[in-house]
Amino acid sequence: MSDSLWWLPSLLVFAIAGAIAVVGIAALRRATARRDAATDSSLAELQRRAGGLLVRTDNRVQESEDELGFAQAQFGDVAVIDYRNAIDTARRRLREAFLLQQRLDDAEPDTVDERRRWNTQIIELCTSADAAIASEDSRFRELRSTERNAPQQLLVVQTQLAAAEERADEIRALRQGLADRFAPSALLTLDRHLDDASELLVSATGLLQAAALRMQDGGVEPVADALRSAHDEVARSSGALSAGEGAAARIAAAETAAAGLAAQLREGIAEARAVRDGHVDPAAAIALNLCVDQAGMALAEHARAERAGGVAVDPLADLDALRGAIDRLDAATSAARGQQDRLEHARVALGGALVAARSHIAAARDCIAERRSVVGAPARTRLAEAERQLMLAEQESDPVDALDIARRAVRLADDAEALAHYDAELRGH
């Protein structure tokens, strides 16, 4: 090789080294991409499993609570002590799982490790909750496997049915009194629960009659299924009747709360006008003027309802209208109000906000319960978080913070109800 080509071997060495480096980097990138894809796939599967377990475990706990009532009536209080404790344990673990799901659903970004860890914890909690009640469920199913106590079981369910029918008659009488005072729209939820209860009681009556006939004919095996189905119908009717009583109570509570909010709103208007007249910022004055006008319209509508004696009035809608007007007025004047004034104002507003939160949470809970076979984890998670926020609001010593938390509970409950409706529509229910 001539002296002029002394550099050629070095060039070949560097070229080979560069090619190896390029190939190595490309291989590393492909391996990294494969690992990332595998991580995304495994995390998605973990999340799907956790969400499915949340739904199944929530339904399992609800079913076990229904089972507890039948077991208590059939075998006595002492026999169900362990069963009740197992359900309480499962419910606590389920609440922890819903709290973790809420962390995953909130707006704050989570790392991959956090999402994996929290989903794993949800799966563990749900599995543990299910295991806590599985053995008790199995034990009572075995107790009922024999038909020797069929006559006694029939008597138990007949007694439960009679009590439920008497309770339904009382609620119908209560409903008639409300119908004389309020608009039909205020009674829609109550009517729906009463209709559901009536259908279930009719079904339970037919099942018990069929069971009695089979027992007279000497048929044994089918009786247990009929009695069980009859009990389930009576238990579901009791749930519908309780929901109906709750709806009636919310109407009365809304009427009382609306009167208090109207008085608060009148004071708020006067205060807002005083703030507006002494405010140097024209933009703030314009905003206050708008809120004062809106509040005045809400008060006028409330006054019209009072003059009508409650007839053709929906107190729940009236309460929401007044609460909305107060919220807007409060937001418009808070910047110009001193801290002590804000505290006093929040203390007064908090009562109405808590009533509204309880009402919206109850509506969402009823909506999910009626559709629990199709409602997924997001709706249930938001309901659980709304209930937690309401509990925090009730315990919060700072009225300003408590008011904000109560309003957050209302928004979460509304989200839960909307998601439940969406799940039902998606699945054709």
Nearest to 207 by CA among 186, 222, 190, 188: 222
Vertex 281, ends 277 and 283: CA angle to 5°? 100
Do 379 and 420 contact (CB within 8 A), yes or no? yes
pLDDT tens for the chain, 429 residues long, are: 555 555 556 655 566 666 666 556 655 666 554 554 445 678 888 899 988 999 999 998 888 888 888 777 766 777 788 888 989 999 999 999 999 888 888 767 778 888 889 899 999 999 988 888 888 887 777 666 645 567 788 888 899 999 999 999 999 999 998 888 888 888 988 999 999 999 999 999 999 988 888 777 654 445 777 888 899 999 999 999 999 999 898 888 887 888 888 888 888 888 888 777 765 456 667 777 788 888 888 888 777 766 655 455 788 888 888 888 888 888 777 766 554 466 677 888 888 889 999 999 999 999 998 888 899 999 999 999 999 999 999 999 888 889 999 999 999 999 999 999 999 888 876
Return the C-alpha torsion angle 82, 86, 88, 92, nearest 10: 150
